[in-house]
Chain A
Amino acid sequence: MTIREQPRQVLKRRASKRSDWKVALVFLLPLLVMYAIYYLYSIGFLASTSTTKVSVTFFNSIDVGWRNYAQLLTDPVFIRSMVNNILFACISIVAALTVAFFIATALATGVRAKRFFYLIFLLPALMPLSLVATIFGSMLTERTGILNQTLRAIGLGALAQPWLTQPGLAFAVVAVIFCYLIGLPIMYYTADLSALPTESLEAALLDGAGTFRIMRSIIYPMMRGTHITIILSLLLGSFRSLEVVLFSTRGGPGQSTEIVGSYIYGFATSGGPTIGFVSAVSIIVLVIALVLSIAQMVVTRPRKDMR
């Protein structure tokens, strides 16, 4: 390429890029319009409702200014719900990054009856959450639950516990249900493992690295993208895990296992003029989810030198 030819080609490339951008815009425009109507209208509607006192009919609303937000941010139950939400999410993330990773890697090594094990681990994630939580809840009632009855029947009655009425135990129960759903993280890891370049693993094997060393020092760091996807999906998903709490502990005892979803549910189904308050909660949750999503974009953005 001569020096004189260079500017012409640059111009040509720029023009082509511009035309690509226009084509992309034509295809994206209907979707953008739909998004604008669907999301922006909804968010705008929620925001305007959040400053009112109104029932589900949205008629005869009373403007209350920022009162809903003020009540919300000083409500100890809401703050506890937020904290619980994040704690449950953190516990399920730890389980996913350790147990789910280990299971996925172990199954990827070609153990016997691999499909059977996949089924075992995936099944809870494929079942309706409300069903899983209901089963857990009924198994754990102190007097009639199957767990305590079994413990008593085999002479271990001393281990029978008030699983759902002691705050600490009830919290642990909900945390276990959150962790029980590690099927999806296993699926993410399995999908990523199949695309992993094998050269590094072969090199490690040749260097005499053991299984756990390979898992810890080679595979785990290579799956950084999957870890981040799992962390964010579990964190954001925890805000939508209403069924887990509602059907197991009902937020109790004494709201010690309440999460944002169950907090909203209580007000939304009250039948009174509480929809403005519920909208304020939703806006706050939306802002938090937005912050998390932006964090995800920043964290997962490729470094400048990698572009």
Chain B
Amino acid sequence: MKFSKTTAVVAAAVVVASLTLAGCSAGSTSTGSHIAADAKQTINVWGWAGAPGKDVMAGVISGFEKANPSITVKFTEIASLDYKNKATLALSSKDSIDVVGVSPSAWAADNASYLLPVSKWPNGAALVSKYQPQTIDQMKKLFPDDEIRAVPFGSSGSVVGFYNADLLKKAGLSAPPKTWADFTKLADSLKGTGIVPAVMPSDSWFQDEFLTTLVGQTDPSFWNNIRYNNGSFDTKSYIDALAKYKSLYDTGLFDKSTLDLAYSDAMALFDQGKAAVVFNGSWEAGRLLASYRAANKVQPSDVGAMGVPADSADQVSARSFLDVTYAIPVASTHQAAAEKFIEYTTAGAGVDAWASSLGFIPAEKNWKLPSGLLTTDVETSGYATLQTLIGAPSSDRNNLSNLSAQIGTYILQVVNGTMTPEAAAKQAEADHKSGKYN
């Protein structure tokens, strides 16, 4: 086949023009020519596993799409361990994300420049007034200039305990143990039964969560001091908490044979009725629901929630903070639809759909748990306990995740007797000051 010179020139011109137009079109996406909320469109929502997860979000999304037939939601769930890196890369490459889950940690500040300030959202100011003021205050702490770039979804607290009400009854306890003396009664009643008094994930980040909860019982300002005032780990209260934690294993209240349990193994032991209490975060509160227990073959017939016991009952506390927040990337071209979705999910009709799974306490003002969800007194009082612990925390659970994972390894060494509490506190402080972990 032969082409004339003119044909070749025309073809080349067409190709160049097409490429230029394609380039312009791509450019317009990234610079943000915005599509109206009522136009037919698809929005991309990114979140990490468990926040609150694809299964739970499916109900929220289907409700939203029914209420907004012109908007289709594509939800992408990413493993929590990979989320921060993947989301950072996607945001910096201006990928087409319209709603992004923001981890309420140092990550939020690191990625602030990719997120649209809420004041610039189409109805941002009105939306902010729909959340509990405490959650907005916490949100401000996440960003460097007090200008919030995300809105709260829900809060969680850590560490809390979930107890097997059947085993507590057998031990003669009418209420969950609030002090270590009460907990000793429970442990004594289980001797020789093959059931351990308590389990928890041995993952180093969780060990740090537990230790920080123990410190918070005697020194509530400890963590906020570290987080916001450049305070030190090498304090008497931290060293005392390390010694206390070690003593819990040395005296047999906690079983050393559980120190190698991965997250899922610890939860499985409790679910199989082989542990009286499992310590974890309030995001595991789904076990309070009879429907959850039936669907997941959880052995205990009734499950309640409690705080981590302390030397005296009035010291029982937990740290809490926002757990999931939602933002709109600067590069999104669907900002109006994205805001509609965020409003529906965090402060609208969508809240009940995810909050009923009890993973997080919604940030929405005046939200109440739908009636009939919790069926027993143990479940109901357990949820009330969680609300109290989260509502009045010892300090913020505004974590430095990488540092937390490192310090957790020292805590495990203290429990194993290969490091002294004093040395662990010194090393934790050295790591904190080094700046290499966050």
CB neighbours (8 Å) of A143 from chain B are 196, 255, 257-258, 260-261, 269
Please judge, given known A-B contacts A167-B418, A252-B412, A255-B409, whether A270 and B261 are in contact too, CB under 8 Å.
no
Select A271's contact among B88, B265, B418, beta carbons within 8 Å: B88
Q: How far is the CA of A252 from the CA of B205 in the complex (A)?
A: 13
Q: Is the CB of B259 within 8 A of A165?
A: yes
Q: Is the CB of A269 within 8 A of B257?
A: no
CB neighbours (8 Å) of A59 from chain B are 92
CB neighbours (8 Å) of A55 from chain B are 88, 110
Q: How far is the CA of A9 from the CA of B258 in the complex (A)?
A: 81
Select A166's contact among B89, B416, B434, beta carbons within 8 Å: B416
Select B259's contact among A60, A253, A256, A267, beta carbons within 8 Å: A253
A81 to chain B, nearest CB (A): 12
Select A254's contact among B110, B265, B418, B436, beta carbons within 8 Å: B418
Is B106 among interface residues, defined by CB-CB distance under 8 A? yes
B92 to chain A, nearest CB (A): 4
Minimum CB distance partner of B413 in chain A: A254
User: Residue-by-residue, is B102-113 near A (CB-CB < 8 Å gives 1, otherwise 0)?
Assistant: 010011001001
Residue in A77, A250, A252, A274 with the greatest tally of chain B CB atoms within 10 Å: A252
Is B410 among interface residues, defined by CB-CB distance under 8 A? yes
Is B33 among interface residues, defined by CB-CB distance under 8 A? no
B136 to chain A, nearest CB (A): 24
CB neighbours (8 Å) of B91 from chain A are 57
Select A274's contact among B413, B416, B436, beta carbons within 8 Å: B436
Is B437 among interface residues, defined by CB-CB distance under 8 A? yes
Select A272's contact among B110, B257, B409, B410, beta carbons within 8 Å: B110
Q: Is the CB of B107 within 8 A of A254?
A: no
A66 to chain B, nearest CB (A): 14
CB neighbours (8 Å) of B129 from chain A are none
Is A44 among interface residues, defined by CB-CB distance under 8 A? no
CB neighbours (8 Å) of A60 from chain B are 113
Q: Is the CB of A56 within 8 A of B85?
A: yes
CB neighbours (8 Å) of B85 from chain A are 56, 269, 271
Minimum CB distance partner of A270 in chain B: B402
Q: Is the CB of B259 within 8 A of A254?
A: no
Q: Is the CB of B256 within 8 A of A162?
A: yes
CB neighbours (8 Å) of B140 from chain A are none
How many chain A residues touch the partner (CB < 8 A)? 35
Is B204 among interface residues, defined by CB-CB distance under 8 A? yes
Q: Is the CB of A272 within 8 A of B438?
A: yes
CB neighbours (8 Å) of A53 from chain B are 435
Q: How far is the CA of A59 from the CA of B436 in the complex (A)?
A: 18
Q: Is the CB of B106 within 8 A of A253?
A: no
Q: How far is the CA of A163 from the CA of B406 in the complex (A)?
A: 22
Interface of A is mostly: loop
Q: Is the CB of A56 within 8 A of B110?
A: no
Is B82 among interface residues, defined by CB-CB distance under 8 A? yes
A259 to chain B, nearest CB (A): 14
CB neighbours (8 Å) of B82 from chain A are 269
Is B81 among interface residues, defined by CB-CB distance under 8 A? yes
CB neighbours (8 Å) of A167 from chain B are 416, 418
Is A142 among interface residues, defined by CB-CB distance under 8 A? yes
Is B190 among interface residues, defined by CB-CB distance under 8 A? no
Is A266 among interface residues, defined by CB-CB distance under 8 A? yes
Is B419 among interface residues, defined by CB-CB distance under 8 A? yes
CB neighbours (8 Å) of A57 from chain B are 88-89, 91-92
CB neighbours (8 Å) of B256 from chain A are 142, 162, 165
Please judge, given known A-B contacts A143-B257, A254-B418, whether A71 and B412 are in contact too, CB under 8 Å.
no
Q: Is the CB of A162 within 8 A of B257?
A: yes
Is A273 among interface residues, defined by CB-CB distance under 8 A? yes
Is B401 among interface residues, defined by CB-CB distance under 8 A? yes
Chain A to chain B contacts (Cβ below 8 Å), 12 pairs: A141-B260, A142-B257, A143-B196, A143-B260, A165-B412, A167-B416, A253-B416, A269-B81, A270-B401, A271-B88, A272-B110, A272-B401
9 extra interface residue pairs, beta carbon distance < 8 Å, beyond A253-B412, A271-B103: A55-B110, A142-B258, A162-B259, A253-B259, A254-B418, A270-B401, A270-B437, A271-B85, A277-B436
10 closest A-B pairs (Cβ-Cβ)? A271-B84, A254-B413, A270-B402, A57-B92, A164-B260, A142-B257, A143-B257, A165-B259, A255-B409, A272-B438
Which A residues fall within an 8 A CB radius of B?
Answer: 53, 55-57, 59-60, 68, 71, 77, 141-144, 162-167, 250-256, 266-267, 269-274, 277
